[in-house]
Amino acid sequence: MIDVRLLRTDPDGVRLALARRGQPELLVQLDKAALLDARLRDITAERDEHRRQVNDLSKATGLARKAGDAQAAEAAMATSRQLGESERGLAAESDELSSALHDVLLRITNMPHAAAPDGAGEHDNPVVKGPVNMPASFPEHQRVPHWETATALGILDNERGTKISGAMFTLQRGLGATMARALCQLALDRNSDAFEEIRPPTLVSTATLTATGHLPKFADDAFAIERDGLWAIPTAEVPLTSLYAGEILDETALPARVMAHTSCFRREAGSAGRDTRGMLRTHEFDKVEILAIAHPDQAAAMLDELVARCEGTIAALGLPYRIIEICTGDLGQSHHRSFDIEVYAPGCDRWLEVSSVSWFSDYQARRADIRFRRTGQKGTEIAHTLNGSALAGPRVWAAIIENYRQADGSVIGPEALRPYMRGVTVIPAK
């Protein structure tokens, strides 16, 4: 969440920054937060004054009793009881206001980075690199949708996936399953030089999902296990961010780098009827995430590094790709600055987002209470968090099937994947 102190010290700056997102309701929420904060501070000051007076009256009561003045002692006690009752009412109101302010702040988005391009939505996202590896044209045998090719090859069986779990669940088999696993192992190996591998829980608490900004705003898009008060993770970003929740890190430990290969679960609320075939939109998919907890001074360079790492994996697979920067009107709830890597799928004739790399400034870390202490200094500061999809399996899988399809219907495996494919170089046509 944004720092409430900014609402007090630079309300106009916060307002101008959030106005760039083009969501008028945000400014209404901002005004509500400012009013709640002002009232809370007034109540707190009044409560503290009552407490001071109660303490003074307690001393006065003792002195009156010591002096044998029972009437004065009783009067002081009566006034103290009245003030105590009033103080308890103010404390209750303070708790209520604190809760209301916290709830509003949880729903206010992060402020865009000054360099983030202005825009109203996804159509305003500028291409900042590419297209790379894009041929002048594609032969007709590559213009076949991946679901047709993969079904014919016997490596995609969504009919049985639906039978097992319902709509929008996929099932890869044979060399299709092997390739899905190989993609994730490739991404892990390419980042193992600098990132510690973690296998976090797939189910997390409400507090953990709230820390990254997925709650309360995106509750409808998450799978909840209500009986146990747990949520299925939509991305490994969620548990990885909370690895250090509530902790104070030493400055020398930053940046802390971690990565994880997990299943991810999303309801895809609001997407009914879109991309229902193949691997483009599913309720469950595998993804490798890389994440950093950074010193504020390290964050900009870390963003560049994460983009380069995610781009490098896609480039190694030989896929046509481009990089776009996300404009202010398309930024996610927690995002400060973001870049997407997209690959071109000739069978679908569209660009597919396969990686999103984001800098969240101190927004997530404040929610998770992740702090660091500068060497030789007192006090603590909020850290910055960044993450990137080192590889999101389904769409990369789909793009490979379409880009590497041969005229006879077979699919050649990208060279970078071959060490992970048990010696298989071609998925043969049947």
What is the domain-level CATH number for residue 51? Answer: 1.10.287.40
- Based on the fold, state whether residues 191 and 53 are members of the same structural domain: no
Q: What is the pLDDT of residue 54?
A: 86
In a domain, residue 117? The reply is: no
In a domain, residue 282? The reply is: yes
- Based on the fold, state whether residues 214 and 252 are members of the same structural domain: yes
In a domain, residue 113? The reply is: no
- Based on the fold, state whether residues 159 and 81 are members of the same structural domain: no
Number of domains in the chain: 2
Q: Per the confidence metrics, is the pTM higher than 0.95?
A: no
Question: Could you report the per-residue pLDDT of 293-349, keeping only the tens digit for each?
Answer: 999 999 999 999 999 999 999 999 999 999 999 999 999 999 999 999 999 999 999
In a domain, residue 316? The reply is: yes
CATH of the domain at 274: 3.30.930.10
What is the percent of the chain with per-residue pLDDT over 90, rounded to a whole number? 87
- Based on the fold, state whether residues 103 and 183 are members of the same structural domain: no
Residue 272 pLDDT class (50, 70, 90 cuts): low
- Based on the fold, state whether residues 268 and 331 are members of the same structural domain: yes
Distance CA 345, CA 287 (A): 19
- Based on the fold, state whether residues 251 and 391 are members of the same structural domain: yes
In a domain, residue 338? The reply is: yes
In a domain, residue 116? The reply is: no
In a domain, residue 114? The reply is: no
- Based on the fold, state whether residues 74 and 143 are members of the same structural domain: no
Question: Could you report the per-residue pLDDT of 31-52, keeping only the tens digit for each?
Answer: 999 999 999 999 999 999 988 9
CB burial string 116-152: b at 16+ within 10 A, e below: bbebeeeeebeeeebeebeeeebeeebebbbbbbbbe
Q: Which structural domain, as residue segments, surrounds residue 194?
A: 122-427
- Based on the fold, state whether residues 239 and 359 are members of the same structural domain: yes
- Based on the fold, state whether residues 247 and 323 are members of the same structural domain: yes
- Based on the fold, state whether residues 275 and 403 are members of the same structural domain: yes
- Based on the fold, state whether residues 93 and 191 are members of the same structural domain: no
362: number of Cβ within 10 Å: 21
Question: Could you report the per-residue pLDDT of 54-87, keeping only the tens digit for each?
Answer: 888 889 888 888 898 888 888 888 888 898 898 8
